[in-house]
Amino acid sequence: MQSYGDESRPLSALSLPSRIVIGTAASGIAVAVLIHLAMMFLHVAPSNTLSRQQSALISDYVYPEYEQNWKLFAPNPLQQNTAVQVRAHLRDQDGTVRTTGWTDLSARDGQAILHNPLPSHTQQNQLRRGWELLSGTLDAKNTPTGERGGMFARYFRRIVMLRMSGEWTRGGARVEEIQLRAQTTAVLPPPWSGEKISDRPVYRVLPWWRITAGDLPEGATNQ
Amino acid sequence: MTSPTPQQPHTAPGATGAPAATEEPPAYQETRIERAIGRGLARVSARALAPYQTAVIRIGFAGTWLLFLLREWPNRQELYGPAGPFDFTMVRQLLTGNHGFSLLLWSGSGGWFECVYLLALAAAALLMLGWRTRTMSVLFMVGVLSLQNRSVFVGDGGDNVLHLMSMYLVLTRCGQVWSLDARRARRAAAAGVPDRGPDSPRDLPGIVLWAVLGLALAAAQVAGAPGLTWFGHGPFPHIGWSLALWGLWAAHGLWWAVRRHAPGEPRTVLDTLTVLAHNAGLLVIMVEVCLVYATAGWYKIQGSRWQDGTAVYYPLHLDYFSPWPGLSQLLGGTGLSVMLITYGTVIVQVAFPFTVFNRRLKNALLVVMVCEHLSIAFLLGLPFFSLAMITADLVFLPTNFLTWFGGRCSALRRRFRPAGAPAPDRAAGRSPAEAAAGSGGDGPTLVG
């Protein structure tokens, strides 16, 4: 099953049925390769006449297994740092409710990445991409919308609770609600460029979210 | 390889890539086009091209995934587990919508998750070593798809490369050299054991592996595991994962049976079909790498920062991509060096797909790109992405270099081998592929 025969032999030495089989297979494979490569090209190329006309056909072929995005730092690299910060309403054992200070989760990721030759996806991608997904579904009032908005919001609450619940509930407090805000700071242009932009952070503050049992991944607790 | 010259990308199989016919006394009254097609077909059906390059990318992609899985071992629950932030109900909702394939959809239990993670680890390790390469490449693909589709939102470009290449590798005979399979075949050949016909070894481990995998697939099929449809969503439209996986399973069985019981023409036909699939997969891999660079380069050209020569400055100042801020600031410190790297990156990426037709230029650009990815691995803290991209680049390495490299490794290994111990890899000297191809002269030494 695993030995590789690789002797060369002229196809013309084979019987007619064998040649028909090989010829048919070769044509089929050639057509399949051409179709596949055309689909891959149309998927990665900018939106054009053909890909707009055949968009349903292309996405049916490409998704989910051949999806790809090679716009690496293109057309322009990201020029801002987004830090996701979180705080909570905690109910202490005596019933009083207090509000925690803001915790910068992205800064913690940054600390974990600093001087780390092998950053984990949990440090480099989880929160960063989670926020990208969530912020894409937020409406003008910063409420998640659409079919996926609710899912991404719950996903993000679970990321937050996994990281923060230990600290918040240490003194026996119960996590009632959490609030997110994103602090976006522009990367200042290089000193030699002469461009002037503000490096004042811009905040996007989301409404308070109630924490329920569904927001607790394994290893997290709300009390 | 037929010729001692390095395998050139433009000699890769292609439906359209047949060279124009030269003057020759025609045996039949064929037209030029018919002759060209005939030659092209003869070329791509004669042998599995680029044995060393496909072996290198097999080792590279499987190794990258193996290292990644080991790195994330402590975080595996958080990234892919049923009770992690992206929990089982969410992944079911997502994959029901987009029809991605994942074994982890079959059950939400923690034990099943651990099994799948271990399976992915084992398949990656064994594919890297080249043990039962064709079977392991299928399991490797299943492992990659299962984990990545389970949690698409934690992946990055490196995961994307591995995702595509794990599927393309299934088509290739990527264990012809530098694999345990090749070593076994070489030893059998040296011992005079026939590799076909009724006297050939029955290959018990292969039969057991095949039977176990068939039973497992049958059990999943009978239990109605999600994603196992015949003509639903699968690797291709209207070819479901059931059809694809059972097809691969049947093909393995057929190859075994034909090799043993019909070693003549049926075996030759089957072998030719396998060679055609290999060469098609190789072409797809090469074009895919070119598409990556073409897209990356062409989109960059449209960006103002890449035009004004400051683009490289910005990633070096992103908190998520600067594990060594001091070094990043040093590199991004002078305008001229940032501009040269910015322009150089675009030039290399845009040019690469065209240089594959020129051996010297291609090799020079390969060196540049491998170096660039090495620095990305370190400076931007993206080691697994870089490793996957470097591996993808290596499919374009010249055969001369690879055989030289293999020889160096063998020499190094012999030096550390205890004196007097036999070096079995020298027994036959050459892989069956080479022996059959008759590449003459000093047969390159192989790494077992």
DSSP B127-193: HHHTTTHHHHHHHHHHHHHHHHHHTGGG--HHHHHHHHHHHHHTTS-TTSSSSHHHHHHHHHHHTT-
pLDDT for the residue numbered B28 = 60
Cα A53 to chain center, whole Å?
Answer: 28
pLDDT for the residue numbered B37 = 86
Mutation pick from B89, B318, B346, B373 vs chain A, by most beta carbons of A within 10 Å, is B318
What is the average per-residue pLDDT within B299-306?
Answer: 95
User: Number of Cβ pairs closer than 8 Å across A and B?
Assistant: 279
Among the residue ranges A63-67, B357-361, B436-440, the one predicted with the least confidence is: B436-440
Burial of B42 (0-12, 13-18, 19+ CB in 10 A): middle
Q: Per-residue confidence at B415, pLDDT binned at 50, 70, 90?
A: confident
The pLDDT tens digits for B365-408 are 999 999 999 999 999 999 999 999 999 999 999 999 999 999 99
Flag whether residue A5 sits within 8 Å of chain B, measured between CB atoms. Answer: yes
Flag whether residue A163 sits within 8 Å of chain B, measured between CB atoms. Answer: no
Interface of B with A in 79-138 (CB under 8 A): 79, 81, 83-87, 90, 93-94, 98-101, 132-135
Q: Is residue B323 reached through a cis peptide bond, with omega within 30 degrees of 0 on the bond before it? A: no
Identify all chain A residues contacting B290, using CB atoms and an 8 Å cutoff. none
Residue B40 above 90 pLDDT?
A: no
Instruction: Name the stretches of chain A with pLDDT < 50.
Output: 1-6
pLDDT for the residue numbered B418 = 62
Flag whether residue B64 sits within 8 Å of chain A, measured between CB atoms. Answer: no
Q: CA–CA separation, A106 vs A152, rounded Å?
A: 18
The pLDDT tens digits for B93-110 are 999 988 999 999 999 999
Cα A187 to chain center, whole Å?
Answer: 22
Q: Do A6 and B176 touch (CB under 8 A)?
A: yes
Report the predicted TM-score, pTM, of the whole model to 2 decimal places.
0.90
CB hemisphere CA count around A161 (13 angstroms): 32
The 8-class DSSP code of residue A83 comes to E
Residue B119 above 90 pLDDT?
A: yes
**Highest mean pLDDT of the ranges B30-44, B113-127, B328-342, B413-427:** B113-127
pLDDT for the residue numbered B5 = 41
User: Hey, how many other C-beta atoms are within 10 angstroms of the C-beta on B204?
Assistant: 8
pLDDT for the residue numbered A66 = 96
pLDDT for the residue numbered B432 = 41
Q: Per-residue confidence at B6, pLDDT binned at 50, 70, 90?
A: very low
The pLDDT tens digits for B216-271 are 999 999 999 999 999 988 999 899 999 999 999 999 999 999 999 988 899 999 99
Q: Per-residue confidence at B417, pLDDT binned at 50, 70, 90?
A: confident
What is the average per-residue pLDDT within B21-37?
Answer: 70
CB-closest option in A1, A3, A113 to B320: A113
Residue B91: strand pairing partners: none
Mutation pick from B153, B199, B292, B372 vs chain A, by most beta carbons of A within 10 Å, is B153
More confident residue, B173 or B194: B173
pLDDT for the residue numbered B23 = 55
Closest CA to A165 of A124, A213, A94, A123: A213
Flag whether residue B303 sits within 8 Å of chain A, measured between CB atoms. Answer: yes
Closest CA to A124 of B74, B149, B325, B380: B380
| ipTM of the complex model | 0.94
Q: Per-residue confidence at B419, pLDDT binned at 50, 70, 90?
A: low
3-state SS, A165-200, equals HHHHCCCCCEEEEEEEEEEEEECCCCHHHCCCCCCC
pLDDT for the residue numbered B25 = 55
User: Hey, how many other C-beta atoms are within 10 angstroms of the C-beta on B190?
Assistant: 13
Q: Per-residue confidence at B26, pLDDT binned at 50, 70, 90?
A: low
Q: Are A70 and B295 in contact (CB under 8 A)?
A: yes
